Amino acid sequence: METDSETSKSSQQSCQTAEVKERVSTIEAMINLVTVIIGAGILALPQLPRRCGWVLSALMLLISCSAVQEAALCLCRALIQTNSQESKVTTFEALGHRALGWQGQLAVAVVANTFLLGVCSAYAALIGMQLYNLTGVFNQRAWVLIAYPIFVLLGLLPNLSALSKLVPLGMLAACLTGLMVIWSSLQDVETWQSWKTGDLDMEIHDTWPSQPAALGSALATCCAAFSFVPVVPAIIRDMRTPQHFPRALNGALAICGLLYLGVMLCGYYGYGNFIRDDIVESLGQSPATFEEAMHQPISEWTGARRPWLRVFISILILINIFLSMPLLAMAVFYSIESSFAHAVPGSWANWAMRIGLLTGVVAVALAVPRFTVVFSFFSSLTAPCVSLIFPLLFADYILEKVSKCRRGYHAVLFIIAVLSNFRCAYMRAEVGRCRSTGTLQMSIEYRGLVW
- pLDDT per residue of the chain (451 residues) written in tens, 0 to 9: 444 444 444 444 444 443 444 678 888 888 888 877 887 667 678 888 887 888 888 998 898 889 889 989 988 888 888 776 556 677 778 888 888 888 888 888 888 888 888 888 988 988 888 888 788 788 889 999 999 999 998 888 877 666 767 777 877 888 888 899 899 888 888 877 777 654 454 577 778 876 666 676 677 677 777 878 877 887 887 888 888 999 999 999 999 999 999 999 998 888 888 887 667 778 888 888 787 777 788 777 877 888 888 788 888 888 888 888 888 888 788 888 877 777 887 788 899 999 999 999 999 999 988 766 676 677 666 777 888 888 888 888 888 777 788 888 888 888 877 766 655 444 444 444 444 433 333 333 333 333 2
DSSP state letter for 388? I
Nearest CA among 357, 42, 426 for reference residue 217: 426
Query: In which region does residue 180 sit, left (phi positive, over 0), alpha (psi from -120 to 50) or beta (all else)?
Result: alpha
Cβ–Cβ under 8 Å, residues 252 and 34? yes
Interior angle at CA 330, CA 324 and CA 332, nearest 5: 120
Class of domain 25-450: mainly alpha
Identify the pLDDT of residue 211: 66
Cβ–Cβ under 8 Å, residues 36 and 331? no
Cβ–Cβ under 8 Å, residues 203 and 273? yes
Identify the pLDDT of residue 371: 64
Separation between Cα atoms, residue 205 and residue 214, nearest integer Å? 16
Neighbours of 157 (CB within 10 A): 18
DSSP state letter for 396? H
Which residues are within 8 A (CB) of 447 and not within 5 positions of it... i.e. 6 or more apart? Answer: 39, 40, 41, 44, 119, 224, 225, 227, 375
Q: What pTM value is reported for the model?
A: 0.74
Torsion of CA 122, 124, 129, 134, to 10 degrees: 140
Neighbours of 85 (CB within 10 A): 11
Separation between Cα atoms, residue 368 and residue 98, nearest integer Å? 37
Cβ–Cβ under 8 Å, residues 29 and 245? yes
Instruction: Show me where the domains of the chain are located.
Output: 25-450
Neighbours of 81 (CB within 10 A): 17
Identify the pLDDT of residue 361: 94
Side-chain-side CA neighbours of residue 197 (13 Å): 3
450 - beta bridge partners? 445
Which residues are within 8 A (CB) of 251 and not within 5 positions of it... i.e. 6 or more apart? Answer: 30
161-188 core/surface letters (b: 16 or more CB in 10 A; e: else): bebbeebbebbbbbbbbbebbbebbeeb
Interior angle at CA 83, CA 77 and CA 86, nearest 5: 135
Which residues are within 8 A (CB) of 323 and not within 5 positions of it... i.e. 6 or more apart? Answer: 35, 154, 163, 166, 167, 169, 170, 173
